[in-house]
Amino acid sequence: MRLFLLASLGFAAAKNGLDGWLRYAPLPCSHQCHSKLPSNIVTLNQTTRSPVYVAGSELQKGLKEIYASHVQIHHGQHGQCKDFSAVIVGTVAQYRKTCGPADEVPHLDEDGFWLNTKGSHVRILGQNEKGTLYGTYEYLSMLAQGNFSDVAYSTNPSALIRWVNQWDNMDGSIERGYGGPSIFFRGEKIVDDLARVIQYARLLASVRINAVVVNNVNANATLLAPENIQCLGRIADVFRPYGVQIGISLNFASPKTFGGLNIFDPLDTTVIKWWSNITNQIYQRVPDMAGYLIKADSEGQPGPQTYNRTLADAANLFAKAVKPYGGIVMYRSFVYDHNLNQSNWKADRANAAVDFFKHLDGKFNDNVVVQIKYGPIDFQVREPASPLFANLLNTSMAIELQVTQEYLGQQSHLVYLAPLWRDILDFDMRVDHKPSSVRDIVTAKRFNRKLGGSAAVVNVGTNTTWLGSHLAMSNLYAYGRLAWNPTDDPEDMLRDWIRLTFDLDRNLLDTITRMSMDSRPAYENYSGNLGIQTLTDILYTHYGPNPASQDNNGWGQWTRADRTTIGMDRTVKNGTDFSGQYPPEVAAMYESNETTPENLLLWFHHVDYTHRLHSGKTVIQHFYDAHYQGAETAQGFLDQWESLQGKIDHERYEHIRQRLEYQAGHSIVWRDTINNFYHNLSGIADKAKRVGNHPWRIDTGWPFRDCFWLCGYCHRSNDTAGTATTKLHFPSGMYDLAVNYYDLYGGQSRWAVYLNDRQIGRWLGNTEDILSHTPSIYLDGHSTTRIKFRRIKGTKGDTLRIDGTPDGVEPAPLDYVALLPHGVVD
């Protein structure tokens, strides 16, 4: 009966990341674990495309990989229910019908399940088929983690909306995509081969995500062409057996730009008819479509304001169209004016959501859900929870999170996001002076609304790592877990994910846990702290540092930094009134600089650089220290990872090592750019004398010779090689050589570095191929990269030379080199 195979399957898949946390690595099996191997799988629905049938197949596949054993599947006959040591999977109703009473099963909510491994057989019974599949993944997750405890428990979702939003375009690109092109679209069409979609469906179902919006919120109406609707049906058919519904984003102007009408007024009868016709066509092909997602009147997207109609008029238009089919409309609250005037002290983009939506409370149909970004601005490293959560008491809401690391390192930096999400979900709004956590509000517990839940922007692409980085997958995993249970502990989730993704090894577990738990505080430290926002380039790629870009434009992500002060005054007494959008207790806390949590000080208050924090440090000194501290933590990630060599397959080890090495270098770019910026602006020295003082660096502008280095790069014709040389003036000894250079896309320059004519290293400007984000076409904070050559023996007076060979538009640019004695990070 038990056939033991060579355990090679699991490992092959392990190396490229395609199976994510569903790797089911072979367990080094003790007697105990074999005694837990079921003899049979009994599924209570034989329809091949039913989630219960899928549950049986997943179980068989998982057991085969974990135990290297083949377990037979039987399709629900009464006699098999009594089969000794079988696993029975089905809904409670199916179990009652085939196997008999199910009195021990507690009450289950929609999508909930009961898992019982006590007694002779294992029973996984769902409230519905989806729930059964979720329970099956839970059971497999236990086994894969070597957890053989006897359990009997039920679990129910916190909310029924557990969605992901893909920002995929029909041309195959993904807005903020860092994991390769779309798995859904290519060349304005839906792809023929949906193999990757099946694998994505498995991943989503295993963390209990129940719907995916497949196209970008900046939507293109061509998706509504009849042939595309037919193809959407193919995508829905792939997701359906996994209990995942599809939804689509709509372009509000479609009746005009695509439908041939001369109008898109949401109250116009021809427009209403047009949308209802389109909706009918879609539901004819996809009878269980989850619904629509709408971004309107936002960042240039068309919307109801064109016709002086309200956002509720717009939402209700779609709500009526999908109502007969049980569909819902997710209407984004991300509506704001991006042409604000900074010379108006009272102007504040953060006010927009409440300004636009509060007066519409109670005016939305009951199948409309307002989808609210977690913070009032835009997915920053730290924001207060959006006050809109506390301002719509008669409207269903969902929270919008972002697995996509748009402002948070674009999957090229390790940033584990569950702690950030928990900060928001746990925040207590004190509506009516009663406990009102964001989590209870969005899951509709607090105000007893009809619908609620969460949506996360996700940018999986065709890359076999899905997100472009193996470690970024912990965010997708944790998102699903939190959507189900928003009180799940970030560290517990992480540990489960590590065991499932890598290995059960204790040291490995502790190391990756520590790195991941430190990653968001580190990123916040070196990107932008005290609530000043992620000080990235908001006008370009949202990636590298550019604090100057925040101010003096209409986007309203201002810091109002000048020579003596910094921060947005969002108080009622002298500022933008934003703090007054919160219920009174919270408003009072944010109104005063003394009670505002310091990690949000500059979000709410405009203070002097010399303002003292509780620690006694000034704001500016805290900036300097935190940026040094954050970059130092990031250096440590690389060392910690390298301690795991040999414990992880080479492919993943190397993929992650390269990224962490890159992050270590780029965190220094962040640190120095931000610190130099505020140092120059304020003229206030760093007490520790680090800022602006880099004793171990040699600027490539000078004393490098033989080349006109200017503005960080060598001006010469881009098809001839350039050379930079310098004599070492440091004491003789052992150094790490760090070279900061610019790696643009549009070319792959080559560099080689020599010490006294002996080559000690060379590299290629190809981060555009190695990293997941698209770097910049300019010499800037996005493209600055550091490479390190370790343990170089240097003697005072040696000649260091770097030859650069340009390629394409990339002129082999260098920034500086540093010779670092052991332990020095300069």
Ligand X SMILES: *[C@@H]1O[C@H](CO)[C@@H](O)[C@H](O)[C@H]1NC(C)=O
Q: Does 47 bind ligand X (CB under 6 A)?
A: yes
Question: C-beta of 248: minimal distance to ligand X in Å?
Answer: 14
Token pair belonging to 122: 């294992």
Residue 394 interacts with ligand X (CB under 6 A)? yes
Select 478 or 607, whichever has its Cβ closest to ligand X: 607
156 binds ligand X (CB under 6 A): no
| Per annotation, catalytic residue among 150, 227, 299, 562 | 299
**Pairing state between β 328-332 and 368-373:** parallel
- Going by the DSSP 8-state scheme, the letter that residue 640 receives in this structure is H
Nearer to ligand X by Cβ, of 350 and 792: the residue is 350
Tell me what percent of the chain is helix, strand and coil, each rounded to the nearest 5. 35, 20, 45
Residue 124 tokens read as 């996984």
Q: Where are the alpha helices (DSSP H) in 146-253?
A: 195-206, 226-239
Tokens of 231: 């193809």
Q: Give the range of 20-28, 508-516, 627-635, 695-703 binding ligand X by CB under 6 A.
A: 627-635
Query: Could you say whether residue 173 binds ligand X (CB under 6 A)?
Result: no
CA distances (Å), origin 61, targets 64, 67, 71 = 5, 10, 9
Nearer to ligand X, 117 or 536 (CB): 117
| Residue number, 17 or 794, with CB nearest to ligand X | 17
With respect to ligand X, which residue has the nearer C-beta, 193 or 594?
Answer: 594
Active site residue 109: no
For the segment 521-550, give every residue that binds ligand X (CB under 6 A): 521-522, 525
548: buried, middle or exposed (CB in 10 Å: 19+, 13-18, 0-12)?
A: middle
Residue nearest to ligand X (CB): 50
Distance CA 295, CA 291 (A): 14
CA distance 662 to 701: 23
| Residue from 312, 397, 601, 607 in contact with ligand X (CB under 6 A) | 607
Alpha-carbon gap, residue 312 to 737, rounded angstroms: 60
Give yes or no for residue 343 binding ligand X (CB under 6 A).
Answer: yes
Q: Alpha carbon of 753 to those of 214, 717, 763: distances in Å?
A: 47, 21, 9
Single-letter code of the amino acid located at 190: I
- Give the shortest CB-5-to-ligand X separation in angstroms: 27
> Which residue of 809, 821, 822, 824 would you call a contact of ligand X, by CB under 6 A?
809
Neighbouring residues of 597: CB distance < 8 A, sequence distance ≥ 6: none
Q: Identify residues 719-778 at the interface with ligand X (CB under 6 A).
A: 719, 769-770, 772
Instruction: State the minimum distance, in angstroms, from the CB of residue 141 to ligand X.
Output: 8
Residues 6+ apart with CB under 8 A from 299: 218, 334, 338
Q: Which residues of 763-798 are buried (b: 16+ CB within 10 A; e: fewer)?
A: bebbbbeebbbebbbebbbbbbbbbbbeebebeeeb
Catalytic residue among 400, 406, 672, 768: 406
Say whether residue 413 binds ligand X (CB under 6 A). Answer: no
Instruction: Kindly state the smallest distance separating residue 453's Cβ from ligand X, in Å.
Output: 19
Shortest gap between Cβ of 759 and ligand X (angstroms)?
25
361 is catalytic: no
Beta-strand runs (E) in 347-413: 368-373, 396-402
DSSP 679-712: HHHH-PPPTTS-TT--TTEEETTTT-BSS-EETT
* Whole-number CA gyration radius for the chain: 28
User: What distance in Å separates the CA atoms of residue 54 and residue 41, rounded to the nearest whole number?
Assistant: 12
Residue 810 a catalytic site member: no
Nearer to ligand X, 171 or 826 (CB): 171
Token readout for 85 is: 């040591």
Q: Is 453 in the site for ligand X (CB under 6 A)?
A: no
Q: Does 610 bind ligand X (CB under 6 A)?
A: no
- Which of 141, 536 has the CB closer to ligand X? 141
Site string for ligand X, 558-597 (x = CB under 6 A): -----------x----x-----------------xxx---
Beta bridge partners of 821: 735
Should residue 222 be labelled a site residue for ligand X when binding is judged by CB under 6 A?
yes
> Among 39, 173, 485, 718, which residue interacts with ligand X (rule: CB under 6 A)?
718
Amino acid at 186: R
Specify the DSSP element, H or E, that contains 818.
strand 814-821
* Tokens 């933008």 found at: 576
Tell me which DSSP letter residue 199 carries.
H
Q: Which stretch binds ligand X (CB under 6 A): 228-236, 276-284, 506-514, 680-688?
A: 276-284
Question: Looking at 378, 488, 524, 780, which residue is catalytic?
Answer: 378
List, by residue number, the catalytic residues.
299, 378, 406
- Please give the residue ranges that form the binding site for ligand X (CB under 6 A): 45, 47, 50, 94, 129, 142, 147, 149, 151, 180, 188, 220, 222, 277, 280-281, 284, 308, 341, 343, 345, 362, 393-394, 447, 462-464, 468, 518, 521-522, 525, 569, 574, 592-594, 605-607, 611, 625-626, 629-630, 633, 718-719, 769-770, 772, 808-809
